[in-house]
């Protein structure tokens, strides 16, 4: 316990700002209270106006999101016997406080400053949970406190341990305040050795658990290890009864915040951190506002996503910070046959003014997108050191259509792999891991088009700055279903390698300044109707633009002003030279 306490002390940034009101005289208190009241009255409409401003110039029709309406009734968890200090389990106090406001038709439950240990918190409608500055809610490390429930994870119907924060079939839910919600994820997750230093790895192994035969992964228990070897992307296969799942419950780590089949949900202010799996998972939620929150997970946390928005409608994510172990802001809609059967897309999303410090992807679509994704606006975001910046991923078998995506004003620095990545051969690995295992499928053979064939089209990306990446852009579709109708415009891209286009149709690139190391500026493979206009690049050697593949046709490449391409272009012998102009 001492070690865990020290770990939390290191990872939780406590707000130590002095909020006490001077008590020199009653007049001072009255004046101060009056000023605070006026300030509050002024600030709230401004916040509403800010959200309203987000709809201006939006590229698609989207209704105004209905914010939660919470009745004017409030209690504190201390009214129901909650004890701070992190030693006493306060699950019942949380439940009793929530029941008390529910009996009044709803209201606010306040968690004051202090360390509060609890088991799962079960949400009810018309509820605001307000974690005050200095409040740290730590979820129990005892896995017996988390019974199994039927749910969805990784896009599939399954059984998992109940989430630390759980709600289903609700309306009017709000998380407010600047406190911290900690999911105690370190007792749930497995860890890959290469993600730790030698000292960290040795300390972890010495703490207990088991190591796989190859010595490359640590697991919390033998039960966990055995279950992991028979799972599909963290979901056990071929189990039929709840009892079957009970036999491997240590493997069934939950997402931290699970809100399902609900309406009018808002997260505004708190820190959510240290989740067992994904941190925040709204599933089939309509009218969702996520603003001013911070999401934190260790960079080595497996499946430590920030927020996974799945089959949701009318969503705003704004002014948030993410520093996580997997994709930061991820958009999903179910996986394969089950996702197509659900048939609920994620649609009408505004994602703006967010910062991602670490993650596999800054903003990601997929790979579970079988129900479709459409009408997404992403703007004014900054990604620093994310494995990929803008990440689109799927594979054969998913089906579904991703369309009408509008991305602008994105800033990226120090991207280890692809700044912009479309990968329709996704196999469950990060891009870094994929590259280690062999990289691209540029010359894969086409397969028949079926309902299992994913489609990505009508995607527009502009005003992008990349300061450092391994690869500036990868646009890779499938030979049987090309990536279609993509525009890239007004970009400054600094990367070791330039732009790769493979199995794509109707791609327009214009006004792009490209700075690379020794890699190619532009590679086009088995793609058609490609128009490149005003590509500014300092050509140094021959063959820095390459066109390959017998399906490459109707390609026009125009350099920047006062530039000649000449010998800098190489056209493969299998390409009809009459189809290429430059």
DSSP 387-419: SEEEEEE--TT---EEEEEEEEEEEEEEEEEEE
| Higher-scoring residue by pLDDT: 499, 11 | 499
> Do 240 and 337 share a structural domain?
no
Beta pairing, strands 231-232 & 235-236: antiparallel
In the 8-state DSSP scheme, what is residue 369?
A: B
- pLDDT for the residue numbered 528: 97
Between the alpha carbon of residue 180 and those of residues 7, 115, 201, 457, 577, the distances in Å are 15, 10, 27, 40, 61
CATH of the domain at 413: 2.160.20.10
Greater confidence, 507 or 564? 507
pLDDT tops 50 at residue 533:
yes
Cα angle value 337/340/341 (rounded, 5°): 85
Domain match, 339 and 482 both: yes
Q: How confident is the model at residue 16 (pLDDT cuts 50, 70, 90)?
A: very low
CA dihedral of 77, 83, 88, 90, whole degrees rounded to 10: -10
- Bridge partners for 329 per DSSP: 307, 363
DSSP code at position 261: E
Last residue of a domain, one of 208, 231, 251: 251
Query: Judging by beta carbons within 10 Å of its beta carbon (0-12, 13-18, 19+), is residue 565 exposed, middle or buried?
Result: middle
Q: What is the pLDDT of residues 47-65, one digit of tens each?
A: 344 799 999 999 999 999 9
36 has a pLDDT exceeding 90: no
**What is the maximum alpha-carbon separation in the chain?**
89
What is residue 488's three-state secondary structure? Answer: strand
Q: Is residue 221 part of a domain?
A: yes
- The answer to whether 327 and 305 are in contact (CB under 8 A) is yes
Q: Does 353 share its domain with 234?
A: no
Q: What is the CA radius of gyration of the chain?
A: 25
> 196: which residues sit within 8 A by CB, 6+ positions away?
204, 300
Phi, psi of 462 (to 5 degrees): -145, 160
Cα–Cα distance measured from residue 474 to residue 115, given in angstroms and rounded to the nearest whole number: 46
Q: Which of 38-52, 155-169, 276-290 has the lowest mean pLDDT?
A: 38-52
Q: Mark whether 337 and 236 lie in a shared domain.
A: no
Listed in sequence order, the residues at least 6 apart from 34 whose beta carbon sits closer than 8 Å to its beta carbon are none
120 lies in a domain? no
- Mean residue pLDDT across the chain: 89
What is the pLDDT at residue 437?
Answer: 57
| Res 191: pLDDT | 97
- What is the model's pLDDT at position 442? 59
Which pLDDT score, from 0 to 100, does residue 450 have?
97
| Residue 167 covered by a domain | no
What is the pLDDT at residue 563?
A: 74
Flag whether 427 is in a domain.
Answer: yes
Q: Is pLDDT above 60 for 488?
A: yes
User: β-strands 156-161, 148-153: how paired?
Assistant: antiparallel
Tell me which residue of 315, 332, 330 sits closest to 267, measured CA to CA: 315
- One domain, residues 341 and 457: yes
**Residues 351 and 483 grouped into a single domain:** yes
pLDDT band at 11 (very low <50, low <70, confident <90, very high): very low
- Regarding whether 380 and 474 lie in a shared domain, the answer is yes
**Per-residue pLDDT reduced to its tens digit, 99-144:** 999 999 999 999 999 999 999 999 999 999 999 999 999 999 999 9
Q: How confident is the model at residue 216, as a pLDDT?
A: 97
- Is 331 found in the same domain as 417? yes
Asked if the structure places residue 334 within a domain, the reply is: yes
* CA dist 322 → 132, 134, 298, 327, 394 (Å): 21, 20, 11, 10, 23
With a cut of 80, say whether residue 40 has pLDDT above it. Answer: no
Total domains in the fold of the chain: 2
Give the mean pLDDT of 462-472.
Answer: 98
Q: Report how far residue 259's alpha carbon sits from residue 123's, in angstroms, rounded to the nearest whole number.
A: 9
Query: Which pLDDT does position 132 carry in this prediction?
Result: 98
Whole-structure pTM value: 0.89
In this prediction, residue 300 carries a pLDDT of 94
What is the mean pLDDT of the segment spanning 418-425? 96
Distance (Å, whole) CA 442 – CA 503? 8
Q: Is the pLDDT of residue 7 over 50?
A: no
pLDDT at 201: 97
Please check the confidence at residue 417 and state whether its pLDDT lies above 60.
yes
Q: Which pLDDT score, from 0 to 100, does residue 34 have?
A: 31
Model confidence pLDDT, tens digit, residues 286-335? 999 999 999 999 999 999 999 999 999 999 999 999 999 999 999 999 99
Q: What is the pLDDT of residue 439?
A: 54
Does residue 474 belong to any structural domain of this protein? Answer: yes
Helix (H, G, I), strand (E, B) or coil at 28: helix
DSSP 191-213: EEGGGS-HHHHHHHHHTS-EE-T
Asked whether residue 472 is domain-assigned, the answer is yes
What pLDDT score does 23 carry?
Answer: 30
Sequence-distant (≥ 6) Cβ neighbours of residue 243 within 8 angstroms: none
Omega prior to 508 cis, within 30 of 0: no
The pLDDT value given to residue 519: 80
- The answer to whether residues 333 and 476 belong to one domain is yes
Looking at residue 538, what is its pLDDT? 86
Domain residues for the domain of 403 are 327-489
Single residue among 206, 234, 251 that ends a domain in this structure: 251
Q: What does the pLDDT average to over 342-362?
A: 97
pLDDT band at residue 31 using 50, 70 and 90 as cut-offs: very low
pLDDT digits (tens, 9 = 90+) for 226-264: 999 888 888 998 899 999 999 999 999 999 999 999 999
Is residue 485 included in any domain, yes or no? yes
For CA atoms 74, 80, 85, 90, the dihedral sign is negative
Are residue 467 and residue 358 in the same domain, yes or no? yes
Which distant-in-sequence residues (6+ apart) come within 8 Å of 525 by Cβ?
442, 443, 500, 501, 502, 503, 547, 548, 549, 552
* Region 370-383 average pLDDT: 98
Burial of 573 by CB count in 10 Å (0-12 exposed, 13-18 middle, 19+ buried)? exposed
Last residue of a domain, one of 436, 465, 489: 489
What does the DSSP 8-state code read for residue 549? Answer: S
Residue 339: phi, psi to the nearest 5?
Answer: -65, -40
Q: What integer is the mean pLDDT of 372-401?
A: 97
Same-domain status, 340 and 472: yes
Residue 440 has pLDDT above 80, yes or no: no
Q: Are 243 and 331 in the same domain? A: no
pLDDT at 429: 55
């Amino acid at each position: 316990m001492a070690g865990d306490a020290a770990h939390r002390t290191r990872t939780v940034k406590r707000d130590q700002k002095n909020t006490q009101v001077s008590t020199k005289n009653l007049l001072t208190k009255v004046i101060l209270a009056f000023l605070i009241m006026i300030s509050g009255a002024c600030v709230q409409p401004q916040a509403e106006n800010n959200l309203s401003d987000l709809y201006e110039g939006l590229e698609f029709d989207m209704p105004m999101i209905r914010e939660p309406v919470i009745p004017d009734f409030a209690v504190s968890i201390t009214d129901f016997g909650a004890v701070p200090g992190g030693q006493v389990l306060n699950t019942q106090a949380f439940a009793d406080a929530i029941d008390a406001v529910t009996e009044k038709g709803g209201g606010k439950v306040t968690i004051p400053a202090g360390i509060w240990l609890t088991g799962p918190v079960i949400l009810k409608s018309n509820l605001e949970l307000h974690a005050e500055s200095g409040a740290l809610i730590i979820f129990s490390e005892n896995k017996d406190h988390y019974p199994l429930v039927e749910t969805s994870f990784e896009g599939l119907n399954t059984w998992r341990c109940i989430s630390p924060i759980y709600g289903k079939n609700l309306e009017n839910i709000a998380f407010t305040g600047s406190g911290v919600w900690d999911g105690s994820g370190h007792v749930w997750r497995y860890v890959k050795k290469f993600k730790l230093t030698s000292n960290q790895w040795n300390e972890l192994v010495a703490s207990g658990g088991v190591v796989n035969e190859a010595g490359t992964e640590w697991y919390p228990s033998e039960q966990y290890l055995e279950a992991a070897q028979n799972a599909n992307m963290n979901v056990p296969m071929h189990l039929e009864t709840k009892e079957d799942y009970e036999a491997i419950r240590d493997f069934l780590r939950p997402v931290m915040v699970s809100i399902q089949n609900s309406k009018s949900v808002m997260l505004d202010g708190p820190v959510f951190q240290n989740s067992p799996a994904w941190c925040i998972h709204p599933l089939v939620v309509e009218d969702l506002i996520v603003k001013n929150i911070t999401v934190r997970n260790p960079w080595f946390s497996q499946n430590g996503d920030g927020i996974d928005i799945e089959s949701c409608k009318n969503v705003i994510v704004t002014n948030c910070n993410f520093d996580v172990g997997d994709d930061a802001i991820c958009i999903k809609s179910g996986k394969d046959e089950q996702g197509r059967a659900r048939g609920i897309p994620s649609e009408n999303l505004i994602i703006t003014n967010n910062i991602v410090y670490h993650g596999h992807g800054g903003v990601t679509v997929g790979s579970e997108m079988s129900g479709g994704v459409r009408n997404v606006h992403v703007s004014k975001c900054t990604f620093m050191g994310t494995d990929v910046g803008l990440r689109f991923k799927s594979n054969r078998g998913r089906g579904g259509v991703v369309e009408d995506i509008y991305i602008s004003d994105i800033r990226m620095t120090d991207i280890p792999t692809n700044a912009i990545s479309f990968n329709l051969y996704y196999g469950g690995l990060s891009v870094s891991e994929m590259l280690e295992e062999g990289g691209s499928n540029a010359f894969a053979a086409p397969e028949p088009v079926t309902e299992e064939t994913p489609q990505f089209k009508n995607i527009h990306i502009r005003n992008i700055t990349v300061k450092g990446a391994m690869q500036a852009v990868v646009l890779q579709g499938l030979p049987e279903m090309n990536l279609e109708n993509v525009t890239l415009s007004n970009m400054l891209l600094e990367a070791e390698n330039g732009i790769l286009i493979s199995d794509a149709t109707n791609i327009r690139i214009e006004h792009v300044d490209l700075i690379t190391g020794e890699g190619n500026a532009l590679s086009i493979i088995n793609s058609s109707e490609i128009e490149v206009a005003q590509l500014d690049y300092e050509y140094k050697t021959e063959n820095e633009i390459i066109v390959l593949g017998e399906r490459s046709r109707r390609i026009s490449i125009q350099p920047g002003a006062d530039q000649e391409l000449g010998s800098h272009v190489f056209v493969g012998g299998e390409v009809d030279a009459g189809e290429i102009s430059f």
